[in-house]
Every structure is written in C-alpha cells, then in structure tokens.
Amino acid sequence: MAPSPLDRSDDAPLWSQLQDDLQRRIAAGEFAERFPGEHALVGEYAVSRNTVRQALAQLRADGVVTAERGRSPRVTDRRVQPEMVYSVGTTSTLFDVVERTGRVQTSVVRAVVRTFDGVVATRLGLEESTPLLHLERLRLADDEPLAWDRVWLPYDLGAPLLGRDLTHTSLYDELARLTGVRVDEGRERIRVAVADPVRARLLGIAAGDAVFHIERTGAHRGDLVEWRQSVIRADRFSLTADFGPRQGWELTSDTELTTDTDRRRPAVVTA
C-alpha cells in the first residue's frame, strides 16, 4: 500500500498527518512483518527526521507501535499481547501479573550483596548499623525490559537467597520457601515520573518517557521486612483499583493511596 501524500497547506501539522496515515496502513495489515525505520519513512513521505520522530513518539505513546532502544520499531499485536494489569490493593506479584498474560517473566540479576545503608535500615525500623541484603534486578517480560527493581531485606532474613537462582521466580515465593516468611501487608507510594537516561537505557525506552516509580515497605505479620524501589515502564503496564461501600480509597497528604479497611496496615499494592 502506497503512502498517502501529506498536505502542507493543511492546518494539521505534518507529524499528525503522518501518524494518521501510518495508522491507516497499520490497520490494513501492511506492517505485519516489519515496520519501516526512521530513514525509510523520511524518504517515503519527504519529511524531516524530526517529523517522523514526533509521529512515532505518539504512536508509541498510544501503544500502537513499540520502539525500543537497539531494536527496529514494530506494530503491537494486541491479539497476542494482552495488557499487563495489576489490581491495586491485592497481594499479587509482578511475576504473577506478567505470567497471567501468557508471557514469561525473567530477571537479570545485577546484584545480590550484603551491604549497609543507614537510611534504609531506619525505614525498616532497624539500627542504622544493621547489615542488609540488597537485591537488584532488571525484570523482563518475554525477554523485553519491563521494570528495574531494587530490594533491601534484613541480612539475617535475606541471607538464604545468596547463591539461589532468581532468574525465573517470585522473590516472595522464594523467600517464603526458604525462610517461611511471606510479605503479606505493607504500604506503597506510587507516582508517575519520567525516565532519566540511566533508567531509560536499562528499560529500552527513551529518556523522558513515562514510568511508574514505586516505593514500598513490606511486612510480615506486622514486622517490617522489606523496602523496595521499582521503576516500571508505563507503556507496558497499568494499575486498576476497585472501590465500593465496604472499602474505599483516600488521598493522603503526601499523595499516597491507603485503604479505609485498615489504616494501620494497608494492603500491599504491587510486588
């Protein structure tokens, strides 16, 4: 299917016209095998590279095209790639959320080390000198970057994880299997942020793209056992929340979401 010529006298900007024509061609199935690169589109439509990039940025933001660092853009197949959705206020893990969609969740383990961090120890209600286990992972869904995850646990609790294969497992499941301790409650602060160059490179997105930034404190039977920071790609993941007369949600002064059912021990939001 030939590209439609862009009308430079039209009020609509060229990038918007280009976006519309690419969507028309996508709907017709033209790019099922391969989506053209920036250089090819510049030649086909006789426009600047900046115009092409603006059109592709919008297609990517709309979830129509996936364009990751180091890979050619491709059309998102929504029939075989169901959305990864997490229900806020449940104890489902990120591992579960990914694998329920038929994808395989794996992790590139970047660090599993004994460390000291007075700030994190204080967050866990420990003495500043208490040793901690630090686990850093790049979380993948079907070998494509999804999240960057850093976890701190009291070292005495987390030490059994040393030397274990954590490439295809839920941390909570592995911790429960090895120690009998399962994170069953906690609190999270979730905000939308933009990816800095370092995180963008790890996640295969562009610097400035939207991400979910999550800070979590997890507990087992009321005792704090985990502090975590996660950065999740916003173009591949979404959050949902139920509400009703028996359980509502309120916005606290620091914009954290907490449940009305138990103000002292709100439910774990994600994992």
CA distances from 88 to 151, 217, 218, 239 (A): 20, 15, 15, 6
pLDDT of residue 168: 92
Query: Which ranges of the chain would DSSP assign to H, the alpha helix?
Result: 14-27, 38-45, 49-61, 94-100, 118-123, 155-158, 171-179, 197-203
CA distances from 5 to 10, 18, 229 (A): 12, 9, 47
Tell me the mean pLDDT in the region 137-150: 93
Q: Residues 67-87: pLDDT tens digits?
A: 666 666 778 765 445 667 766
Kind plus residue range of the DSSP H or E element containing 192:
strand 185-194
* Nearest residue to 185 via CA among 93, 266, 96: 266
Task: Say how far apart CA 50 and CA 38 lie, in whole Å.
Answer: 9
Higher pLDDT, 158 or 255: 158
CATH architecture of 14-75: Orthogonal Bundle (1.10)
Tell me the mean pLDDT in the region 1-25: 86
Query: 148 - beta bridge partners?
Result: 138, 231
Do 84-259 and 14-75 have the same topology in CATH?
no
Q: Residues 149-174: pLDDT tens digits?
A: 999 999 999 999 999 999 999 999 99
SS3 128: coil
pLDDT of residue 89: 64
Q: Domain locations in the chain?
A: 14-75, 84-259
Of 11-15, 171-175, 221-225, minimum mean pLDDT range: 11-15
Of 42-51, 74-83, 142-151, 258-267, minimum mean pLDDT range: 258-267
The most confident of 78-87, 143-152, 249-258, 262-271, by mean pLDDT: 143-152
Determine the topology of domain 84-259 in CATH.
Chorismate lyase (3.40.1410)
pTM beyond 0.85: no
- Using the CB atoms, write b or e for 56-85: b if 16+ within 10 Å: bbbbbeeebbbbbeeeebebbeeeebeebe
- Read off the DSSP letter of residue 161: G
In terms of phi and psi (left: phi > 0; alpha: psi -120 to 50; beta: otherwise), the region of 170 is beta
Q: Residues 177-222: pLDDT tens digits?
A: 999 999 988 888 889 999 999 999 999 988 999 999 999 999 999 9
Using CA atoms of 162, 163, 168, 174 in order, give the dihedral in degrees to the nearest 10.
-40
pLDDT of residue 79: 44
